[in-house]
Amino acid sequence: MKIRAGLFLATVAVIFSSSAGAAPADVPSATGFLGACDIAFLVPSTLHDVSGSARCRPFTVRRTRDATGKEVIPVVEVEVPVAAMDTRNRSRDGQMREMFRSDRFPLIRGVARDVDVDRLRGEIGKGRGGKASIGLLLRIRDVERKVLSTASNLRESGERVTFDLEFPVSLREFDLKAPSVLGILRVGDKVTVKATLTLNVSRSP
């Protein structure tokens, strides 16, 4: 009798879990990725534009499906150490870190939420040069602003995904005052940032 009762309760549990909206069998479970990104930035100035590079800290991404079955990334956060930003000029890099007050705010953070993966695939895959927009919450020093970025060049191969992300940053909107050199070389307000992101499937549980 105890065995029959146990089987009955197990059967009831399965029925109720199914009727309560359990995910269909053909919907895959969440997939984890380990992320990396290389960043290039271009700063306009009165004499000549200044280019630089940086590399973000390793980050994680969790891709899953929402209640409607749509493939989404609930949240992804990327951090860039100010100390890793390099314009290949020691004096200029020192001024840049001073502008960012890196002693108090060593990291620049970017956060994206509720990223619709299916939409990105559809818009970028429309044709050559396809692009899609992604909203970012960017934090520089103690200032947060919303920034609209453009994703392109999406490539999915086996367990690896790469794509580019480009967006402008207004120094004025983040209360940043760019330094000048002898009052001659003055930096423009709009900085162009382009990041190449790489995601590899994580094997950790």
> With 60 as the cut, is the pLDDT of residue 84 above it?
yes
Give, in order, the Cα–Cα distances in Å from 119 to each of 54, 67, 78, 114: 29, 16, 21, 11
Residue 91 lies in a domain: yes
Residue 123 lies in a domain: yes
Residue 117 lies in a domain: yes
Residue 174 lies in a domain: yes
What are the residues facing 75 on neighbouring strands?
A: 113
Residue 21: pLDDT band (50, 70, 90) is very low
Number of domains in the chain: 1
Q: What is the DSSP string of 35-53?
A: EEEEEEEEE-BSS--EEEE
Confidence at residue 204, expressed as pLDDT on a 0 to 100 scale: 65
Going by C-beta distance under 8 Å and a sequence separation of 6 or more, which residues neighbour residue 118? 70, 71
Element (H, E) at 138: strand 131-140
> With 60 as the cut, is the pLDDT of residue 17 above it?
no
Name the pTM for this structure.
Answer: 0.80
> With 50 as the cut, is the pLDDT of residue 26 above it?
no
Residue 170 lies in a domain: yes
Residue 2 lies in a domain: no
Q: Are 139 and 109 in contact (CB under 8 A)?
A: yes
Residue 5 lies in a domain: no
Question: How much is the average pLDDT of 174-184?
Answer: 72
Reported as half-sphere exposure (CB side, CA atoms, 13 A), residue 23 has a value of 14
| Beta-strand runs (E) in 141-205 | 143-157, 160-170, 190-201
Where are the alpha helices (H) located in 64-170, listed in sequence order? Answer: 90-100, 117-124
Provide the residue range defining the domain that includes 132.
Answer: 30-201
Q: What is the domain-level CATH number for residue 45?
A: 2.40.128.110
Tell me the pLDDT tens digit for each residue of 93-119: 999 999 999 999 999 999 999 999 999
DSSP state, residue 69: S
Tell me the pLDDT tens digit for each residue of 137-152: 999 999 999 999 999 9
Alpha-carbon torsion (190, 50, 150, 199), positive or negative: negative
Residue 69 lies in a domain: yes
Tell me the pLDDT tens digit for each residue of 55-80: 999 999 999 998 888 999 999 999 99
